[in-house]
Amino acid sequence: MKKDCKRKVELVVLSDIHLGTYGCRAKELLRYLKSIDPETVVLNGDIIDIWQFKKRYFPTSHMKVIKHITSLLSKKKKIYYVTGNHDEMLRKFTGFQIGTLEIVNKIVLPLDGKKAWIFHGDVFDNSVHHSKWLAKLGSIGYNFLIVINMLINVVTRLFKGGKISLSKRVKDGVKSAISHINRFEKTIAELAIQNGYDFIVCGHTHQPKLQYIADKKGQEVLYLNSGDWIENLTALEYNNQEWTIYAYANDPVAQMIDEIIPPEPEEIKLDFKIEQFYSELAEEIHVIPMNVLRAKA
């Protein structure tokens, strides 16, 4: 696919990719990224899942996503890495900039005379801050459920059945989970209205959404959530003064991109080490060495 054939997007927001976990749909994400030409990319937290990081599981498909994103730096594309709870160790490097990449905890972006308040969302989630061990345990359980779900879907495909999502059914069926998300959205909406923001852009809940939320006075703010790349395979796109929820399932061009641009052979690195991973990434974006980062920590 020629560059001028790619779909141009002013702003793309991605979150909850969870690279380094079995549930991450890296191949689908890479196809999406290869099909667009974004001006600005916001990585809104939980991009690399450090909570679930396994040194023997970081396949080439996951590395290709990172390499594609870092290749945008050489094209002078602006990239904001907004930290989340699963990659919270990066918060000690808030303010770090190299080229057009910047690590931040939150950001306010001006968009056609309006203001977008962008952050991951975990700072407003009490379960993460007051019971971190419980949140991590829940994350492990969720990841296990995703793996079981993948096996079930293999079987259902053999019998020509449709895909099912166990974790989504569990979450949708638990009223307390729905209530928790609603409180989360209401709280940040009220804060956004008080501070004069026009848009709230979050991740964290894995629930893609585009919805106006009003406070008690009837004032409204547009709440947006980019979803995830485990189950929903969604992103947020901003073009021509309009927000939309992108869904990979509804994008035949991205789904067929490998027929236009053949993918590179995939090899899983069985002897993967974090130092090796960092060295390869550093080579792409000319980041400071790992031992220097350790000295700073």
| Percentage, residues of the chain above pLDDT 90 | 50
pLDDT at 137: 41
Contact between 79 and 102 under an 8 Å Cβ cutoff? The reply is: yes
Confidence at 263, pLDDT banded by 50, 70, 90: low
What are 27's two structure tokens?
Answer: 């191949």
pLDDT at 85: 81
pLDDT at 168: 53
Task: Give mean pLDDT, residues 215-237.
Answer: 96
pLDDT at 292: 42
Confidence at 57, pLDDT banded by 50, 70, 90: confident
Q: Tell me how far apart the alpha carbons of residues 90 and 45 are, in angstroms, rounded to a whole number.
A: 10
pLDDT at 27 over 60: yes
Confidence at 44, pLDDT banded by 50, 70, 90: very high
The model carries a pTM of 0.75
pLDDT at 259 over 90: no
pLDDT at 272 over 50: no
Domain boundaries, the chain: 3-296
Task: Give mean pLDDT, residues 86-112.
Answer: 89
- Give the residue among 169, 172, 191, 190 at the shortest CA–CA distance from 180: 172
Contact between 269 and 58 under an 8 Å Cβ cutoff? The reply is: yes
pLDDT at 297: 41
What are 284's two structure tokens?
Answer: 């792409």
**Could you name the CATH architecture of 3-296?**
4-Layer Sandwich (3.60)
Pair type for strands 97-98 and 209-214: unpaired
pLDDT in tens, 181-223: 778 888 899 999 999 999 999 998 899 999 999 999 999 999 9
Q: Tell me how far apart the alpha carbons of residues 169 and 148 are, in angstroms, rounded to a whole number.
A: 14
pLDDT at 116 over 70: yes
Residues 6 or more apart from 62 whose CB is under 8 A from it?
19, 20, 24, 26
pLDDT at 126 over 60: no
pLDDT at 10: 98
Q: How far does Cα 189 stand from its chain's mean position?
A: 21
pLDDT in tens, 139-177: 444 454 454 555 545 455 555 555 545 455 445 544 445
Contact between 128 and 122 under an 8 Å Cβ cutoff? The reply is: yes
pLDDT at 215: 92
Four-residue CA torsion sign, 197, 245, 120, 64: negative
pLDDT at 86: 66
Q: Tell me how far apart the alpha carbons of residues 128 and 136 are, in angstroms, rounded to a whole number.
A: 8
SS3 call for 160: coil
Of the candidate ranges 75-84, 182-191, 231-240, 261-270, the one whose mean pLDDT is the lowest: 261-270
pLDDT at 291: 44
Contact between 26 and 64 under an 8 Å Cβ cutoff? The reply is: yes
Q: What are phi and psi of 101, to 5 degrees?
A: -95, 135
pLDDT at 281 over 70: no
